[in-house]
A and B are shown apart, each in its own frame.
Chain A
Amino acid sequence: MLIGLILFPLIFSLMIFILPKNLTKYATIFYSVFSLSWMGMVVKNISSWTNPFFTENYVFSSNLPSSLLLVLDGISLIPILLTQLLIALILWMLLANQKEDKSTYSLIALMHFGLNGVFLCADALGFYIFWEVTLIPIYFICAIWGEGKRMPITLKFFLYTFIGSLCMLVSFLYLYQIQPEGGNFSIANIFNVDMSATARFLVALGIFIGLAVKIPIFGFHNWQADTYTSAPFYGSMLLAGIMLKMGLYGMYRWLSPVFAGPLCCDLQWYIIILCIIGVVYGAIIAITQTDLKRILAFSSFSHVGLIAAGIMTFSHSGWQGGLLQMFVHGLNIVGLFYIVNLIEQKYGSRDLNKLGGIATQNKWLAIYGMILVLGTTALPLTNGFPGEFLLLKSMFEYQFLTALFAGTTIIWCAVYMLRLYQKVFFGEESKLVLSGDSSLSSIEHFILIIFVLGVLVLGIFPQLILGLSESTVLNYLTQK
């Protein structure tokens, strides 16, 4: 079952080169529908909602102390669902844009392969390998189809993440080496060790650096805004929508089990402080930006800070809120990036000062945009609200002062999001907007409606997502 989620993308990414060019479109549609329905089948086959739902083990090599151990439980189910959904949507967006380059589809499928692996693999070495594998296709996507000074920016991104993940690898190696004879890299064994407080601190720090670069947490974020801006729109979506969730997911699965002892308590405190600084800093920078993509980059930076802080409190509401917000943030940010892409395509710019008055020209786009913006600002009855509420609740339970600062995020977010919306959609129609093409094709409508439905449905029934992970989170937290 689970192996299919990993194998099919890999097969597709190789197969598409063999297929004749006029079949690319149909193959891609088939692939996206197939991977969605396979996911549906996996979910349907879940018989008991106790932890874990599925476990599969494939031994690759008798010489490696590691195997391909796939585990699906509540914590991995949510990012996996998000990945299938977003990858399918991104592929459809590319088809709607008449993109015919085979290698794009192949690279996205390769990315899909790596992402599914990261979220499913419960073996430290396998996790690391998939983690690195996702880096190669995104590097290609940003470097080939990017804009501006893409080469140095992309290389900077690559080096940042590579340094981080090597730190993580060293921590895993240490955890392996201190095991008694016959140990392996599986998640059950690797965290089942005794070590001194200092060692524990260093191991946690190594893993944290690897995750923090990807999330990114304040201090590790230098690559983010440039990369998001210079990447093509689907690159930004992959980065902000899914790759960022790799880091958050890693916090649940790979960082939390090491946290114990006094030094780690300090580390927890420092991490939360960094996250909160990121929340405020990202929001303030976002207010001053004029490039739409940069605003979204910093807004995502700010939101993710809150999620990470909530996860680091190791409380029930923090964890549940984090999982819900992971899903919601992925959906909203990708939707917003899509709207920015449509604006750029139709009006030829994504500069706030050159746009204005789109609402009068293209009212559907304005409506979709409004709903997504409200979802991001966490208005009650939109999907942003329940997650943010749970996260802030966890912060209050942890400490009042941090919660106070973190709480300002709602105000900040409203400021920059409404500023963005007002400047782009309202006001005098700018020259560019008047000369642009103001119609939406039916497939564009279709894709946007999916996002809008996501905002509304999850806003009213957050239990749809929360219910998936409830038992697993309880299980995890009682074990800790």
Chain B
Amino acid sequence: MSVIIVILLTAILVLFLHIFEGRQWVNPLAILGLSLSFIILCLENNSLWGDYSSMIYMTQFAKVFTGTAIIFTILVFFINQSRLKLEEDTNNGDKLGLVLFSLCGAILLFTFTNITMLFLGIEILSIPLYVIASSSKHDLHSNEAGLKYFLMGSFATSIILFGMALIFGATNSLDIMTISEYFSQAEISKMAALGAFFVGIGFFFKVAAIPFHFWTPDVYEGTPSIWATYFATVVKIASFGAFFRLYILLGNVDNSPLYKVLVLIIILTVVVGTLTALVQENAKRMIAYSSIVNSGFLLMFFLNPSSDILSYFGLFILGYGLATIGIFSAIVYLESIGNSNGFEGFDGLGRSQPLFSLGVAICLLSLAGIPLTVGFLGKFYLLMSLSFDQWWMILLVIASSIISIVYYFRIFNGMYFSNKKASAIVAPEVVSPYLNFVVGFCALSLIIIGLFPDFYLNIFQ
């Protein structure tokens, strides 16, 4: 578990460095620490026995997801670096420290084998984020986002806890293996079923499935864009990583009490999410709804869990995360030159910043599921994982993909084909090299992994 320790140490160092005269080194130090932890993660062997009284197991699945989360966080910090060039931020160290702490929570969510760790992971992930969400102190939008996130988050946590208590009552154990053995019986008590139901509802809140999604667009819009990137990617991965593990362990799909609820929620999420995304006028809110639709797709992987599904699930979430980071860095750039968050902010970007917007375009194409990108492969594997008995699910994926073209292409068309002389053309400000790096990294890895998925999929074996 040296990964968590390295990240924690980095966080503490960052906080100290911030107090003592070294503000300009805070961000590089954080990136360095994360890179170090990534290297350590790669060198680390899978633990055959658990750490910390068998409460944490580093499985291969956990390793890949941890690595993905760390890389996403590094990318977010690179975006942050571009902001520091432009404005003096006296609280930067605090924010980075908080993000690093919450990353530790995310790692706990991938590795837990005990319900206590699951609970701690959720809270360690969430509590720093409440602060981060409202980090721009005098902006009422940001305050509101923080409060909404806090109320929804702790409400969801309480529901998850109630479910855990019921499961504990039914199984008399907090160990996930014992619980999963209990759930694999043919007959389970009503109390355990109810507990699983409550835990599920709580997680639906966390992964922003409709009808538990109301906080998502508000939080994404209100939170400063850089940290919204973190919310949309790392937090999403963490919640889904935990939920997926839990779901696989607790079901035994056929008699899983969650199954029918899950189906209903998937349909609602994809249908309502797609249609709402269509009418948005703000790019950040559109991305928020697109993330909700993607949650629906990710939930579809739960329907037919098998051993292969883990890696496909990972591929889908990787494609989603990389593409979202790419688009968010475009939003950060547009905000830095004073363009609005509306779609018109993107007008003419293709002409003023051709390479940068090529990267963003690839990210958009990947989200829309056009071939030669990871996004397409993710959707392809999703369709492969569904059997044709669930033909309405396949229909849902197809219909949603088609409609999603319309709203992703609004940004796309604005960038390349707009006639308007937008401010992006009049004042072509230089894109910070850090943003260029982030977008380039996202676009290239989307295409390379899209062409050669073995690079990623083979890590799971």
Contacts and interface: CB of A to CB of B under 8 A. Distances in A.
**Do A and B contact each other directly (Cβ–Cβ < 8 Å)?**
yes
Interface in A151-192: 151, 155, 158-159, 162-163, 166-167, 169-170, 173-174, 176-178
Interface string B395-422: 0001001100110010001001100000
Nearest to B354: A103
A61 B454 contact: yes
Interface in B30-85: none
Contacts of B452: 60-61
Interface residues of B, number: 27
A144 B458 CA distance: 40
The B contact surface, by secondary structure, is helix
Contacts of B458: 62-63
B248 interface: no
A143 interface: yes
B367 interface: no
Nearest to B311: A63
Contact of B398 (A60, A62, A151, A166): A166
Contacts of A167: 398
A155 B406 contact: yes
B370 to A, nearest CB: 6
B337 interface: no
A128 B413 CA distance: 24
Given A132-B371, A133-B372, A163 B454 contact: no
A176 B388 CA distance: 11
A140 B417 CA distance: 9
A64 interface: yes
A119 to B, nearest CB: 17
Interface string B372-388: 10001000100110011
Interface string A28-56: 00000000000000000000000000000
Given A63-B453, A136-B370, A166-B401, A173 B416 contact: no
A170 B398 contact: yes
Contacts of A178: 388
B388 A174 contact: yes
30 contacts: A60-B451, A60-B452, A60-B454, A61-B452, A61-B457, A62-B454, A63-B311, A63-B453, A63-B454, A63-B458, A64-B453, A128-B371, A129-B371, A129-B372, A132-B371, A133-B371, A136-B365, A140-B416, A143-B416, A144-B417, A155-B413, A158-B409, A159-B402, A162-B402, A166-B402, A167-B398, A170-B394, A170-B398, A177-B387, A177-B388
A173 B390 CA distance: 13
B358 to A, nearest CB: 10
Nearest to B387: A177
Contacts of B406: 155, 159
Contact of A61 (B365, B370, B453): B453
Nearest to A167: B398
B372 A173 contact: no
Nearest to A165: B371
B362 to A, nearest CB: 10
A335 to B, nearest CB: 30
Contacts of B402: 159, 162-163, 166
Given A63-B311, A155-B406, A158-B405, A173 B383 contact: yes
A357 B203 CA distance: 75
